Every structure is written in C-alpha cells, then in structure tokens.
Amino acid sequence: MKLGTRATAEFIGTFWLVLGGCGSAVLAAAFPGVGIGLLGVSFAFGLTVLTMAYAIGHISGCHLNPAVSIGLTVAGRFPARELVSYIVAQVFGAVVAAGILYIIASGQSGFSLSGGFAANGFGEHSPGQYSMVAGFVTEVVMTFMFLIIILGATDRRAPAGFAPIAIGLGLTLIHLISIPVTNTSVNPARSTGQALFVGGWAIKQLWLFWFAPLLGAALAGLIHRVLLAGEDTGKS
C-alpha cells in the first residue's frame, strides 16, 4: 500500500485518539453530576486505540504515536525511511484534533485554557504536583511498557486478532497509573497538539514529552530485538 495512503490513515487515527482521549478529559471528565473522571478518561484513550486498530491497523499498522513508530523501527519492525512521513502525519492529526476540540470547548460560556486543556505537565502543572524527575521517569517507563505490549501482542506467534484488545487495555492501564503524575503523554504527538493551544508553560515543558517517550520506546525496541535475536517475529 502506498506510503501516502498509510500516512493518511495515521493522520485519521491520531486525530481520533486526541479528539476522543483529550476530548473526554476536557468535555466530560468533570461534567456536573455525570463526570467520567480519571477512570472514564483512561478508558476513552484505550478505546480510541482499540477502535482505530481494527479500523486502520491493516492499512498503516495503527501507530498513532511517534514513540510507537520509533520503537517499532528500533525493533526492526518498521522501515526507518518511512519514519518522518508517519511522524508528520501523526503530529498533524493531533494538532487538527486539538483545534477541533478547542472550537467545541470554547463554545461553552466561561471556557478558559487556564484549565489546562488536557495538556501534559510537571511540577505545578502536574495534576498531582509531581516533580520533573517523577514525570520523566513515569513517561519513560510507561512508554517502555506500552511498546513491550505492542511488540509482543503483534508478534506473529501471538494469538491472532487480539492485539488491539491488549494494546487498548494496556493504554487504559497506563493512563490509570500516570494521569495524576503528568496527565499521561506516552505520545509526543498528543502532547504537541494540546501544548500548541495552551502555549506558555505547556510549550516550555513539551521537551520532556518528546524526549522521555521516545527514549522509553527506543529502549523497548532495543530490548525486544535483543531478547528475540535470531527469531523471525514478522512485522507489525
């Protein structure tokens, strides 16, 4: 399948991840009387990946995340020559989704970006006031585990057809753990889209939400490749 077609699928998939996940956090998490809270937002992120994995997994592999693309590349499961196209499509999809979410959210009287707009942060901008070190470690470890789940679930020796479920539930669990710490990134594209609209502190702290997830993903790809050296794992 042509790279342009696959990149378009990545754009659509990442758009859905940000609109569904961040949208649930901005619009529904604290809605009076029926707010879905941390648990609901966690499931929303997991459901976006689960639904898109079945919708576009056969087209692009459903990365939806620069860290996933990096991890798969390091693991030898994705060609490095296509990396830039995928990452550009993912970031663009995230930014467009954040823009649509802003239009919707700003339609409510009293809306203000000072509420955070589901942006990722540490220190005073962490939901639980966690430090930069805590945020960095959290993002590295959570992304590492996310890639371990993805690489294992999409191995040709894994049960066929169940990878989206494992990956979606894995992302749900990751959010349940780390929303209090950083609002959960594990995805530089998702972080970039929200940060561009919040500006200021979110832009200044964005480096962590690129560096830490990419580091965690690369480590997972390397360890997976080393542990399975000599094995034919196929492609995601």
Amino acid found at 36: I
The mean predicted confidence, pLDDT, of the chain is: 95
Q: What is the pLDDT of residues 24-44, one digit of tens each?
A: 999 999 898 889 999 999 999
Q: Give the integer Cα–Cα distance in Å for 22 and 44.
A: 9
Domains of the chain with bracketed CATH = 3-103+113-227 (1.20.1080.10)
Q: What is the pLDDT of residues 149-182, one digit of tens each?
A: 999 999 988 888 999 999 999 999 999 999 999 9
Q: What is the pLDDT of residues 59-78, one digit of tens each?
A: 999 999 999 999 999 999 99
pLDDT at 157: 87
Q: Is the CB of residue 167 less than 8 Å from the CB of residue 93?
A: no
Burial class (CB in 10 A: 0-12, 13-18, 19+), 104: middle
Q: What is the pLDDT of residues 175-234, one digit of tens each?
A: 999 999 999 999 999 999 999 999 999 999 999 999 999 999 999 999 999 986 455 544
